[in-house]
Amino acid sequence: MAALFILLSLLFFSASANVHNVVKVTDNPADQLVAVLNSNRTAHKGSSLYDNPGLACIALQYVKAYQGDCDAVGGADAKKPAESEFAETFAPACGVTVSTLTPITGRLLACQSKYVDPAEVFSEVLMKNSKSLDILYDKNHTEVGAAVTGTDGGSPYFWCVLFSNGKRNSSFALEGGVAKVTRPGCFSGANDACSGASDWPTRPLGLWPYATSALFLVMYAFGL
């Protein structure tokens, strides 16, 4: 079942990659999401944003803070991690120097029961919120970081995009210059191959998300 699911998503991705003409950065869904996002910005005469691995690793810690609780992502009970978490928890987990933390100028967040490919997450999930396009095209952003992770190796899947107005060389700087790769989950910008097939366990996932085709989808867009 899991193998079939992975095969189907790979087939689906190659099909949609042709349609969207996605530049294949590395074998990493977070990098692919950034590529789709940047090509959409440039098509709208916006700038292409620098894919900052320190910021992207923080995006992964950000979604891990939800501990698999989709309901906390959107709707009436929407929560977001406290600002203090960036310095106290997320930066240390990533090896990001705390003094180089820079304001977040936008966030896009989604949680869903089904894994879909990055191009589809972008257009069918993240961009469905009315505020999302404003956040996407905001001229104040200079850099971006994206992350995706399953929960306990399976559903639900959390996607997170964080934007910042930091300078490329002096924001979210990594101690020793390299991103501390934390699994599970994938983040962008680190030249880190991270594919669903090899990094997400194929142990039984609790078959209900696929078997019953139950789909839940929660998302949230924050200006700041």
Ligand X SMILES: *[C@@H]1O[C@H](CO)[C@@H](O)[C@H](O)[C@H]1NC(C)=O
- Number of residues counted as binding ligand X (CB under 6 A): 7
Strand partners, 27: none
123 binds ligand X (CB under 6 A): yes
Q: Does 19 bind ligand X (CB under 6 A)?
A: no
| Residue 14 vs 140, nearer CB to ligand X | 140
Strand 186-187 with 50-51, pairing: unpaired
Work out which of 67, 169, 212, 213 binds ligand X, going by CB under 6 A.
169
- Contact characters 35-64, ligand X, x per CB under 6 A: -----x--x---------------------
Q: What tokens appear for 166 in the block? A: 């930091």
Residue 153 CB, shortest distance to ligand X, in Å, is 29
140 lines the binding site for ligand X (CB under 6 A): yes
- Is 150 in contact with 115 (CB distance < 8 Å)? yes
Structure tokens of 136? 């996407």
22 or 194: CB nearest ligand X: 22
Supply 64's token pair. Answer: 């891990």
- Residue 169 or residue 212: which is nearer to ligand X going by CB? 169
By CB under 6 A, name the one of 127, 162, 190, 218 that touches ligand X: 127
Nearest approach, Cβ of residue 88 and ligand X (Å): 26
At its nearest, how many Å lie between ligand X and the CB of residue 123? 4
- The structure tokens listed for 22 are 């996605």
Residues 6 or more apart whose Cβ sits within 8 Å of residue 223: 106, 131, 134, 135
Residue whose Cβ sits closest to ligand X: 43
Q: What does the H/E/C string look like for 33-96? A: HHHHHHHHHHHCCCCCCEECHHHHHHHHHHHHCCCCCHHHCCCCCCCCCCCHHHHHHHHHHHCE
Under the binding rule (CB under 6 A), the answer on residue 174 touching ligand X is no
Q: Which residues bind ligand X (CB under 6 A)?
A: 40, 43, 123, 127, 138, 140, 169
